[in-house]
Amino acid sequence: MTRYSRITGTGSYLPPNRLTNAQLAADLAARGVETSDEWIVERTGISARHFAAPDVTSSDLGLEAAKRAIEAAGLQAADIDLIIVATSTPDMVFPSVACILQHKLGIAGCPAFDMQAVCSGFVYALTVADAMIKSGAASKALVVGAEVFSRILDFSDRTTCVLFGDGAGAVVLEASQTPGILASDLHADGKHVGILCVPGHVSGGQVLGSPLLTMDGKAVFKLAVAVLESAARATLAKAELTEADIDWLIPHQANLRIMHSTAKKLKLPLEKLIVTVDQHGNTSAASIPLALDEAVRSGKVKKGDTVMLEGVGGGFTWGAVLLKY
Ligand code: ACO
């Protein structure tokens, strides 16, 4: 009998400190940086984001999301036999957030590792977990996206610091006799490293290079719009489905204009687009599982719905996962 993988539980968590555009603009004005609610909403669709307290890490946010996903799946933490955490803002250089999260969940023994594909991290992690379940290497995987991007923002750069937020989302992916994950399509092109990066690294006890995010927004925008369409089409072709079969499109939540453009290219009505970027900002690898969890808990995404997840981000990386929820 063919072995598939299927999402059986979702969870998410946002740190309590919510900043509206007006509050962020006031904070930035005190630093001599000028921005406005009007500019941010018009160019990005973002109205608010959450920032974690200074002592709260990705594993803390991931833990809350993971507990909720495990509970929704009707499991105990001890049932989990694989942990993958997608993050670009780990608690420390090593060990991985996944190992720290495993310990915080009170379990031990199962493989646990991080996936680094920036904002595409969650679709990469889900694809790897799916492959490990199909191969028999795991049966009950916890796949988490967790980020504290506020730590790597340059608050003197208004072109980037208004875009991002902190948060975590998680799913439990279990072996199943019915599909689940229908198809996925992952890509990377390292020649674009420079358009979106945090170039700093640790050497000789110091951080060499900037530890803050830098981005060529226009270049990222152009690439994102192109690859989100191609990844969606490639994934549909692998599953032998068409755009008309998609019930819900959950793209990486970076910019509402990019998301609208993707929906338009796929000829999907905007009612099928799940949008959380307005309230979360761009939470990088956390954005897709956060949006999925909100869509599930609000009753939009229902059992049996066909859902297209799409990630795009630094690397340059991109990809899509098509699934039956
Ligand atoms: N407030 C007010 N004005 C601003 C701000 C701000 N926060 N930021 C920029 N401006 C100004 C600029 O200085 C510029 O002024 P000028 O014309 O006087 O020079 C003007 O607004 C227009 O700036 P642009 O950069 O042309 O604005 P654009 O419409 O391209 O929007 C944005 C910028 C929002 C960054 C857009 O390019 C974008 O969304 N790019 C994609 C970003 C993205 O998706 N990133 C995440 C990828 S995922 C990951 O891996 C992390």
Q: Over the stretch 150-191, which tens digit does the pLDDT of each residue have?
A: 999 999 999 999 999 999 999 999 999 999 999 999 999 999
Tell me the C-alpha distance between 268 and 254, whole Å.
19
pLDDT of res. 111: 98
Kindly give the distance from the C-alpha atom of residue 261 to the centroid of ligand 1, in angstroms, as a whole number: 17
- Residue located nearest, by CA, to atom 50 of ligand 1: 313
* DSSP codes, 271-317: GGB---HHHH-B-GGGHHHHHHHHHHHTTSS-TT-EEEEEEEETTTE
Atom 37, ligand 1: residue with shortest CA distance: 217
SS3 276: coil
pLDDT tens, residue by residue, 295-322: 999 999 999 999 999 999 999 999 999 9
| One domain for residues 145 and 187 | no
- DSSP assignment of 26-52: HHHHHTT----HHHHHHHH---EEE--
Do 57 and 106 belong to one domain?
yes
Mean pLDDT across the chain, nearest whole number? 97
One domain, residues 153 and 228: no
Where in the sequence numbering do the catalytic residues fall? 119, 252, 282
Task: Assess whether 270 and 168 both reside in one domain.
Answer: no
Output the six-digit token pair for 127. Answer: 């694809």
Examine the domain organization and report whether 171 and 185 are in the same domain.
no
pLDDT in tens, 96-109: 999 999 999 999 99
Quick check: helix, strand or coil at residue 325?
coil
- Say how many Å lie between the CA of residue 8 and the centre of ligand 1: 38
The values of phi and psi at residue 219, to 5°, are -65, -40
Quick one: 166 and 194 in the same domain?
no
Report how many domains make up the chain.
2
pLDDT in tens, 180-222: 999 999 999 999 999 999 999 999 999 999 999 999 999 999 9
CA of 146 to the centre of ligand 1 (A): 24
Calculate mean pLDDT across residues 116-144: 98
| Number of the ligand 1 atom closest to the C-alpha atom of 118 | 50
- Closest residue by Cα to atom 39, ligand 1, is 255
Q: Which one, of 251, 259, 42, 257, lies nearest residue 162 by Cα?
A: 42
Residues forming beta bridges with residue 114, ordered by sequence position: 85
Ligand 1 centroid, distance to 161 Cα (angstroms): 10
Structure tokens at 186: 């992952």
- Where does the pLDDT of residue 4 fall: very low under 50, low under 70, confident under 90, or very high at 90 and above? very high
What CATH number is associated with residue 267? 3.40.47.10
Q: Once rounded to an integer, what is the mean pLDDT over residues 16-43?
A: 97
Q: How confident is the model at residue 95 (pLDDT cuts 50, 70, 90)?
A: very high
* Full-model pTM: 0.96
Task: Among 49, 221, 280, 317, say which to mutate for ligand 1: greatest number of ligand atoms within 8 Å of CB.
Answer: 221
Do 147 and 167 form a contact (C-beta atoms < 8 A)?
yes
The answer to whether residues 81 and 39 belong to one domain is yes
Residue 249: what residue type? L
Burial tier of 243 (Cβ tally within 10 Å: 0-12, 13-18, 19+): middle
Among 145, 176, 207, the domain-final residue is 176
Cα(215) to ligand 1 centroid in Å equals 9
User: Beta strand pairing status for 306-313 and 248-251?
Assistant: parallel
Residue type, 99: C
Q: At what angle do helices 97-104 and 58-72 cross, to 10 degrees?
A: 60
Pair 163, 39 in one domain: yes
pLDDT of residue 311: 97
Same structural domain for residues 233 and 157?
no
Can you tell me which atom of ligand 1 is nearest the CA of 119? 50
| Spatial separation of the C-alpha atoms in residues 124 and 186, rounded to whole Å | 7
Ligand 1 centre to CA of 46 (Å) is 12
Task: Give residue ranges with CB within 6 A of ligand 1.
Answer: 35, 39-40, 43-44, 118-119, 158-159, 162, 196, 215, 217-218, 220-221, 224, 254-255, 258, 282, 284, 313-314
How far apart are alpha carbons 211 and 88 in whole angstroms? 12
Mutate to test the pocket of ligand 1, among 159, 197, 277, 312 (most ligand atoms within 8 A of CB): 159
- Strands 140-148 and 82-86 turn out to be parallel
The residue to mutate among 24, 41, 43, having the most atoms of ligand 1 within 8 angstroms of its beta carbon, is 43
Average pLDDT over residues 82-103: 98
What is residue 1's predicted lDDT score, i.e. its pLDDT? 80
- Residue of minimum CA distance from atom 7 in ligand 1: 158
Residues 145 and 195 in one domain: no
Are 202 and 241 found together in one domain?
Answer: yes
- Determine contact, residues 247/277, Cβ cutoff 8 Å: no
Range of the domain at 151: 4-176
Ligand 1 center–CA 252 separation, angstroms: 17
Question: Do 15 and 163 share a structural domain?
Answer: yes
Which of 176, 191, 224 terminates a domain? The answer is 176
From 133, 159, 176, give the residue that closes a domain: 176
Q: Given this model, what pLDDT does residue 98 score?
A: 98
In whole angstroms, what is the distance from residue 267 CA to residue 113 CA? Answer: 37
